[in-house]
C-alpha cells in the first residue's frame, strides 16, 4: 500500500474534505496533514501553484482536489465503474467546483462590497446550483447522485451543503439550502448517517 499524505487547512470542510471522508470510509491509512491559516504562506511555497490541497503518494506531490478525490474514490470503491454513472458523478464534481470558484471570488472583499456580492450569489448562482443539484438527485432516484449508492459526488455535495449552512460565510443565509433545495437536507442527513462518516465526526468532535 502506498504512503499517502493529504495536506490542507485544519477545518472540516473545503476542497480536501471529500477525499478525507473517502479515505475514512475506505479504511485507507493516510497522514492527515492539517495546518492553520497563519501557516498557509509557508505551506504554499512548497506547492506548484501556491494552492492546497495536495496529496503525496509515496512522496510524489499531486495537486487538484477533484483529481485527488476521484483517485481516492477509485481506491475505495466510491467512484462508479460504469462510464455513464461516472459521468453523472463527474458532472456534480465539476458543477460544484464552478460553484466554489464563484464563492472564492468574494474572498478578500469587505463591507458593502462583500454584502452585495454574497447576496447576489445567494439569490443567483448558488440558488441555481442548489436547484440543479436537487433536480439531479431526484432524477437519479432521490437518494444518491449516481450509481444508486454513495459515491464521491455525494461526499462533495455533503461538504458543500455543510459549508453553506455553517455560518462561516457572511451574508450567505444559513437556511438557504433549507429553503431553496430541501431534498439536499435529507441527502445531507443520509450521508451524515453513513456509519463510517458518523463515527469519524464523532471521533474528531470528542
Ligand atoms: N483547482 C485547484 C484549486 C485549489 C485552490 O484554489 N485551493 C485554495 C484553497 S481551498 C487555495 O489554495 N487558494 C490559494 C490561491 O489560489 O492562491 C483544486 O481544485 O485543487
Please write the tens of the pLDDT for every residue from 35-65. 999 999 999 999 999 999 999 999 999 999 9
Please write the tens of the pLDDT for every residue from 19-38. 999 999 999 999 999 999 99
% of the chain at pLDDT higher than 70: 100
Mutate to test the pocket of ligand 1, among 42, 51, 104 (most ligand atoms within 8 A of CB): 51
pLDDT of residue 205: 84
Assess whether pLDDT exceeds 80 at residue 105.
Answer: yes
Measured by CA distance, the residue closest to atom 18 of ligand 1 is 64
Cα 52 to ligand 1 centroid, rounded to whole Å: 5
Cα 148 to ligand 1 centroid, rounded to whole Å: 30
Cα 142 to ligand 1 centroid, rounded to whole Å: 31
pLDDT of residue 1: 84
Measured by CA distance, the residue closest to atom 15 of ligand 1 is 51
**Mean local confidence (pLDDT), 168-173:** 97
Please write the tens of the pLDDT for every residue from 63-76. 999 999 999 999 99
Cα 51 to ligand 1 centroid, rounded to whole Å: 4
pLDDT of residue 18: 98
pLDDT of residue 206: 77
Residue with cell 471522508: 21
Assess whether pLDDT exceeds 90 at residue 153.
Answer: yes
Assess whether pLDDT exceeds 90 at residue 107.
Answer: yes
The 10 Å Cβ neighbour count of residue 47 is 14
Note the pTM of the prediction, 2 decimals: 0.98
**Mean local confidence (pLDDT), 121-145:** 98
| CB environment 162-194: b (16+ within 10 A), e (fewer) | bbbbeeebeebbeebbeebbeebeebbeebeeb
Amino acid at each position: 500500500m502506498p504512503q499517502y499524505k493529504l495536506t490542507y487547512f485544519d477545518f472540516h470542510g473545503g476542497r480536501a474534505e471529500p477525499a478525507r471522508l473517502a479515505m475514512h470510509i475506505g479504511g485507507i491509512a493516510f497522514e492527515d496533514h492539517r495546518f492553520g491559516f497563519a501557516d498557509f504562506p509557508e505551506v504554499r511555497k512548497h506547492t506548484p501553484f501556491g494552492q492546497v490541497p495536495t496529496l503525496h503518494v509515496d512522496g510524489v506531490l499531486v495537486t487538484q482536489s477533484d483529481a485527488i478525490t476521484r483517485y481516492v474514490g477509485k481506491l475505495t470503491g466510491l467512484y462508479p465503474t460504469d462510464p455513464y454513472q461516472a459521468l453523472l458523478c463527474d458532472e456534480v464534481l465539476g458543477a460544484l467546483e464552478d460553484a466554489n470558484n464563484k464563492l472564492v471570488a468574494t474572498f478578500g472583499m469587505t463591507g458593502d462590497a462583500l454584502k452585495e456580492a454574497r447576496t447576489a450569489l445567494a439569490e443567483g448562482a448558488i440558488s441555481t446550483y442548489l436547484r440543479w443539484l436537487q433536480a439531479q438527485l431526484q432524477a437519479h432516484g432521490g437518494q444518491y447522485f449516481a450509481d444508486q449508492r454513495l459515491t464521491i459526488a455525494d461526499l462533495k455535495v455533503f461538504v458543500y451543503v455543510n459549508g453553506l449552512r455553517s455560518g462561516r460565510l457572511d451574508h450567505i443565509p444559513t437556511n438557504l439550502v433549507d429553503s431553496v433545495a430541501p431534498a439536499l437536507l435529507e441527502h445531507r442527513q443520509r450521508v451524515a448517517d453513513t456509519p463510517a462518516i458518523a463515527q469519524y465526526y464523532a471521533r474528531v468532535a470528542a
